[in-house]
Amino acid sequence: MDTPLNNLGIVKRNILRADQSAVERLSRFGVATIHEAMGRVGLMQPYMRPIYSSARMCGTAVTVLLQPGDNWMMHVAAEQIAPGDVVVAACVTENQDGFFGDLLATSFKARGARGLIIDGGVRDVKDLTEMDFPVFSRAINAKGTIKATLGSVNIPVVCAGAQVNPGDVVIADIDGVVVVPAAIAGRVADLALAREENEGAKRAMFASGVLGLDYYKMREGLEKAGLKYID
């Protein structure tokens, strides 16, 4: 096939990364807060789990599209990593082989990567944990891969149910993984901050015994909806 129909076999070198100050500001918030600030969208599916419980990352996406059982493109991606990036790897089909291990992690780290999000498997988890190289994946799996078929780097991908464009901000913590489109990163950071400023006061109220029913003035709405208290 002469002309690519489908973005396979392509590496895009220049990508528009989200504004660094917005990334830095987003890095202060949790995934749940950011996802709420965006209007409750942008999450990957909850099967994406950290390989160790303190894993956490925030950075700009370098995307990879993998073929099943083949991690050739991970090596291609390594070269495209700039400091502060997070690699986001999707696969053209469901596959949980161990596409990534300690050697690639060493290479990614040397390039300045802040972590990996992969809709597939990962191995050498003990080493990755010791290196404190955060990975969120759908599986831990020792299964090795080959290097035979082209995928792509820095094209738009669907990873664990979320659309990710190169340069988007990706934030991951124990609660999950959220993707913030580059164009709205600053505004989402503002909204996240507004939410967060609110939280301290709320927490104090609730700790003192005030109920959400009263704080959020829900009683009237519940009654209108027909809620009945019985003894």
Question: Would you count residue 16 as binding a copy of itself (CB under 8 A)?
Answer: no
Q: Is 35 in the site for a copy of itself (CB under 8 A)?
A: yes
* Type and span of the H or E element at 58: strand 57-66
Q: Closest approach of Cβ 22 to a copy of itself, in Å? A: 13
Count CB-CB contacts under 10 A for residue 27: 16
Are the beta carbons of 87 and 168 closer than 8 angstroms? no
Q: How do strand 49-50 and strand 135-140 relate by DSSP bridges? A: antiparallel
Contact with a copy of itself (CB under 8 A) among 20, 24, 46, 132: 46
Site membership for a copy of itself, residue 27 (CB under 8 A): no
Rounded Cα distance, 116 and 113, in Å: 8
Closer CB to a copy of itself, 92 or 193, in the complex:
92
Q: Interface residues for a copy of itself in 106-145 (CB under 8 A)?
A: 106-107, 109-111, 121, 123-126, 139-144
1 near a copy of itself (CB under 8 A): yes
The answer to whether 104 and 74 are in contact (CB under 8 A) is: yes
Q: What is the radius of gyration, based on Cα positions, of the chain?
A: 20
Quick one: 101 or 134, whose CB is closer to a copy of itself? Answer: 101
Q: Is residue 89 near a copy of itself by the rule CB under 8 A? A: no
Using CB under 8 A, pick the residue from 76, 84, 186, 193 that binds a copy of itself.
Answer: 76
Provide the minimum distance between the beta carbon of 24 and a copy of itself in the complex, in angstroms, as a whole number. 19
SS3 (DSSP) at 152 = strand
Counting contacts by CB under 8 A, is residue 28 touching a copy of itself?
no
Q: At what angle do helices 102-110 and 72-80 cross, to 10 degrees?
A: 20
Residue 186, interface with a copy of itself (CB under 8 A)?
no
- Residue 27 or 141: which CB sits closer to a copy of itself? 141
# binding residues, a copy of itself (CB under 8 A): 106
Q: Dihedral angle at the C-alpha atoms of 207, 209, 215, 219, nearest 10 degrees?
A: 140
Q: Which CB atom, from 60 or from 157, has the smaller least distance to a copy of itself?
A: 157
Residue 212 touches a copy of itself, criterion: CB under 8 A: yes
Least CB distance to a copy of itself at residue 193 (A): 14
b/e map 123-147, b = 16+ CB within 10 Å:
bbbeebbeeebbbbbbbbbeeebee
